[in-house]
Homo-oligomer: A and B are copies of this chain.
C-alpha cells in the first residue's frame, strides 16, 4: 500500500488528530514522494504542486514554508501509528507463552519488511535529512526515537530477566539491534547498493548473526564486560 492510501485510510477512519482536505493530502504525499526520490533540497515546490495536481500557491496555504512540509512528515509518521502498531505487534508476541528472543527478533525484522514496502519512503526522507535539519532531528527524537528506545529497553530487560540474552546494558543491546537492522536497511534500500541477496535466507542469517555472532560456537566465548 502506498503512503497515500495509508493516509487516506487513516483520515477516513476518523481515528486521527490529523485533519486534511483532499488537496492537502495530495500535497503532503507528493512532497513525501519527491523528497524521497530527489532529496529535500533538490525538490522544488513547483514540482510538488504539479505532482499533487494543485496550484503552487495552494501549497503555501497549508504549509507556510517548504521546510514546514518537511517537518510535517514526522507528524504523518506518528499519526500513521507506525510505531504503535509496531509495538502492539511486539506486545502480542511477548504475551504468548514461551516466547524466545529468537522469535522476537524474527518478528522485529519481518515487521520491518512489511514496513519497508510502504514506509520506506518515509524512513528514507528522515534519515537523509536528519544530518541537515536539527529541528527535524529534535522532533524525531522527542516523538519517536526516545519513546521507541524506552519501550525496547523494557523488552530487552524482559529477556535478560529470563536469562535468554547476555548481561549487557540494555541500552547497548538496543543500539546493537537498531544499528544492525538499520545498517542492513540502508545498504539495501537507501544507498541502493545491489546486494543480490536471497532475502528469506539472509533474514534468517541476520537473526542468527545477532543472536550468536560470527564465532564458532565451540570457541571459548569471552564474557562481555
Q: Measuring CB to CB, which residues of chain A are less than 8 angstroms from any residue of chain B? A: 38-42, 101-102, 124, 127-128, 130-132, 137, 141, 145, 163-166, 168, 172-173, 175-184, 186-187, 190-193, 195, 197, 201-202, 204-206, 208-217, 219, 221-225
Given A163-B216, A210-B214, A213-B212, the answer on whether A184 and B191 have CB atoms closer than 8 Å is no
10 A-B pairs with least C-beta separation: A183-B183, A213-B213, A41-B41, A179-B183, A212-B213, A41-B42, A217-B221, A130-B191, A211-B215, A211-B213
Which residue of B is nearest A105, CB measured? B214
A-B contact pairs, 13 of them (CB 8 A): A101-B215, A128-B131, A130-B191, A131-B192, A137-B192, A141-B193, A145-B193, A165-B216, A168-B205, A172-B202, A175-B202, A212-B222, A212-B224
- Bound-state CA distance A176–B205 (Å) is 9
Beyond A163-B216, A212-B224, A217-B221, 16 additional pairs, beta carbon < 8 A: A40-B41, A130-B190, A130-B193, A164-B216, A165-B216, A166-B216, A176-B180, A176-B206, A179-B187, A180-B180, A182-B187, A183-B183, A208-B222, A210-B214, A211-B215, A212-B215
Residues of B within 8 A of A176 (CB): 180, 205-206, 209, 214
Q: A201-B225, A215-B212 are in contact. Are A186 and B192 (CB under 8 A)?
A: no
Query: Which chain B positions have C-beta within 8 A of A195?
Result: 175
> A180 — which chain B residues lie within 8 A by C-beta?
176, 179-180, 183
Chain B residues within 8 Å of A214, by CB:
101, 165-166, 168, 173, 176-177, 210-211, 213
Q: Once the chains bind, are B213 and A209 in contact (CB under 8 Å)?
A: yes
- Docked Cα-Cα span, A81 to B137, in Å, equals 34
Bound Cα distance A177, B206 (Å): 11
Residues in B with CB closer than 8 Å to A191 are 127, 130-131, 137
Question: Which residues in B have their C-beta under 8 angstroms from that of A132?
Answer: 38-39, 42
CA distance A224 to B195 in the complex (A): 20
Q: How far is the CB of A32 from chain B (nearest CB, A)?
A: 15
**Smallest Cβ distance from A149 to chain B, in angstroms?**
10
